[in-house]
Chain A
Amino acid sequence: MTTLPTSTQKKLGLVIDLDTCVGCHACVVSCKGWNTENYGAPLSDQDPYGAAPSGTFLNRVHSYEVQPDHGQAALVHFPKSCLHCEDAPCVTVCPTGASYKRVEDGIVLVNESDCIGCGLCAWACPYGAREMDAEEKVMKKCTLCVDRIYNENLPEVDRVPACVRTCPAGARHFGDFADPDSNVSVLTAERGGIELMPEQGTKPVNRYLPPRARDRTEDVDILAPFLDPIAAEPQGFMGWLDKALTAMPGGR
């Protein structure tokens, strides 16, 4: 079971647009909200209102500063969750078969009742996509909201992962990468979607769209000429007043 399928019928995954992500962390919150009360064990928090809070999250947003050779630095918000790799090293290391990749849609899941909590899959993942829940002692990871995307009890518009549904900037897209005409395949092709850590050989399904080049204008400030310093020495009436007041006792 923990041997990987040679191919999957679909390759469901996410496209994350680093150009439009505003770093609001709404996807983090909605992910935690949905997944703590649905598939599998809840996502626990430790010391949530204390001095050193921590907890299990399936999606986290980093922020990086990118300094080009010329011009201004760019701030890039960087959401990171499971990339549902085609050659997922987390699956093959699992000794119990709790970790598996689904043949029908390529989603990487954990069967929590078989998980012994050895943590080896988290070691094998280069992306930090798996976190051991400190309360339940089982491995938690992004399920691509498998309990939403096929859920006929939800309105059709909601049958996407919670992070995608909630993103106010429209920076997250969900679809089938096996279909060359799908929204995610088209976006990836048009915008040059990138793989994270290709040298690790994991063949991630999720793609990241790099920030677009910023428009460049000459560094012209049209108001600057009108903002020349005012005369240092007052003239006319103001000049006489200045002198008169200075001459008075205590004037200077």
Chain B
Amino acid sequence: MHPAPSVIIFSSVSGLGFGLLVWLGLGFPDVTGMVAFVFFVVAYVLAVGGLLASTAHLGHPERAIKAFRQWRSSWLSREGVCAVSALIVMALYGAGLVFFGASWTILGYLGAALSLATVFTTGMIYAQMKTVPRWNHFLTPAMFLAYSVAGGAILANRWTDAFFLLLLTAVLQITVWWRGDTALAASGTTLATATGLGEMGGVRPFEPPHTGTNYLLNEFGYQIGRKHAQKLRIIALVLAFVVPLVIMLLPHAGHMAAGVAVLSHICGVLTSRWLFFAEAEHVVGLYYGTRAV
């Protein structure tokens, strides 16, 4: 799949923002006034910034308002509804903390649940795709949720929680890669089933339909960079998990060290999300012979 920067930035940055909102909604850190204001600004910049980035990949962003209609069937629509609800509820909760020094607990819990739901729906947009066997698994939303809550814990200064959540996320990430590497072969979709010609014998592409490229090949036939996948996986693991974990184990790690941990984690998440798209193979590639199965 084409690793569109807008979608990578959206899912990484918004995930962190909503992760922080989850912790804030639960009352961690227990802050009011200006300190709460700073925390909420960070969360909203990340969450809303990511959402705005995601509209960059729309053909007609001016019609985006229409995307709230089909929540009955569409995970993308549900994501939109959850995201906007979470942002509104958490804005009210944040206003209470910042301006009135009041913690409206119920509102906070509701906002935290909606923030979690937003990240879950993002994961489900990918997990529902039977056409991309690497994504088509409950581990996809589980990994998205783990990344979000772990990243949120770092930002919320919950280092003990962050430590164990990062370990859990790393395990999930490695499991996702391990399962994903055999997912297309395990899905049973091959050029033989794609053409229905498998009964006759071995099928191989002879001529493509056109000499140039097309939308499908640009969108689904992405192959550049797969050869560096193993190296990039290690880079992602080191940046997203190893560096923050080591910093957390250091005695007397101050704000500077925390900043390094956050930046390193964000770079790791971006690398992992790039791989999430670049490594994913869509079954339509079989018709074009982009994968010899």
What residues of chain B lie closer than 8 Å to A115, measured between beta carbons? Answer: 59-60, 63
Instruction: Assess the B201–A67 pair: CB atoms within 8 A.
Output: yes
User: Closest Cβ of chain B: how far from A245's Cβ, in Å?
Assistant: 52
User: Closest Cβ of chain B: how far from A112's Cβ, in Å?
Assistant: 9
What does DSSP make chain A's interface, helix, strand, loop or mixed? loop
Residue from the list B130, B187, B189, B196 in contact with A210, Cβ < 8 A: B196
Instruction: Assess the A94–B188 pair: CB atoms within 8 A.
Output: no
A28 CB-CB contact with B under 8 Å: yes
Map CB proximity to A onto B194-236 as digits: 1 under 8 Å, 0 otherwise: 1111011111111111101111100110000000000000000
Map CB proximity to A onto B157-198 as digits: 1 under 8 Å, 0 otherwise: 000000000000000000000000000000111010111110
Residue from the list B74, B189, B201 in contact with A92, Cβ < 8 A: B74
What residues of chain B lie closer than 8 Å to A210, measured between beta carbons? Answer: 196-197, 199-200
Question: Which of B36-44, B65-73, B97-105, B256-264 interfaces with chain A?
Answer: B65-73
A125→B195 CA distance, assembly (Å): 15
Instruction: Assess the B72–A211 pair: CB atoms within 8 A.
Output: no
A230 CB-CB contact with B under 8 Å: no
Interface centre among B131, B189, B210 (most CB of A within 10 A): B131
Instruction: Assess the A117–B203 pair: CB atoms within 8 A.
Output: no
Instruction: Assess the B76–A89 pair: CB atoms within 8 A.
Output: no
Residue from the list B73, B203, B213 in contact with A3, Cβ < 8 A: B73
What residues of chain B lie closer than 8 Å to A53, measured between beta carbons? Answer: 212
Instruction: Assess the B70–A66 pair: CB atoms within 8 A.
Output: no
Residue from the list A62, A68, A73, A199 in contact with B189, Cβ < 8 A: A199
- Contacts A95-B70, A194-B196: A132 and B215 contacting too (C-beta < 8 A)? yes
User: Closest Cβ of chain A: how far from B129's Cβ, in Å?
Assistant: 6
Interface residues of A in 130-178 (CB under 8 A from B): 131-132, 134, 136-138
What residues of chain B lie closer than 8 Å to A74, measured between beta carbons? Answer: 200-201
Map CB proximity to A onto B64-94 as digits: 1 under 8 Å, 0 otherwise: 1011111011111100100000000000000
Residue from the list B67, B72, B208, B214 in contact with A96, Cβ < 8 A: B67
Instruction: Assess the B67–A118 pair: CB atoms within 8 A.
Output: yes
- Contacts A119-B57, A134-B215: A64 and B206 contacting too (C-beta < 8 A)? yes
Instruction: Assess the A123–B132 pair: CB atoms within 8 A.
Output: yes
User: Given A52-B212, A131-B214, A196-B193, list of 13 further CB < 8 A pairs?
Assistant: A62-B288, A66-B203, A95-B69, A95-B74, A96-B77, A116-B60, A118-B58, A120-B76, A120-B125, A127-B287, A128-B284, A197-B283, A199-B188
Q: List 24 A-B contacts (CB under 8 A).
A: A62-B205, A63-B205, A65-B204, A66-B200, A66-B203, A74-B200, A75-B206, A93-B75, A93-B76, A93-B128, A94-B73, A95-B69, A95-B74, A98-B66, A115-B63, A116-B58, A123-B131, A125-B284, A126-B130, A126-B131, A128-B287, A138-B60, A194-B196, A197-B189
Enumerate chain B interface residues (CB-CB to A < 8 A).
Answer: 1, 57-61, 63-64, 66-70, 72-77, 80, 125, 128-132, 187-189, 191, 193-197, 199-210, 212-216, 219-220, 282-284, 287-288
Q: Top 5 closest A-B pairs, CB basis? A: A117-B59, A137-B59, A68-B201, A60-B209, A95-B77
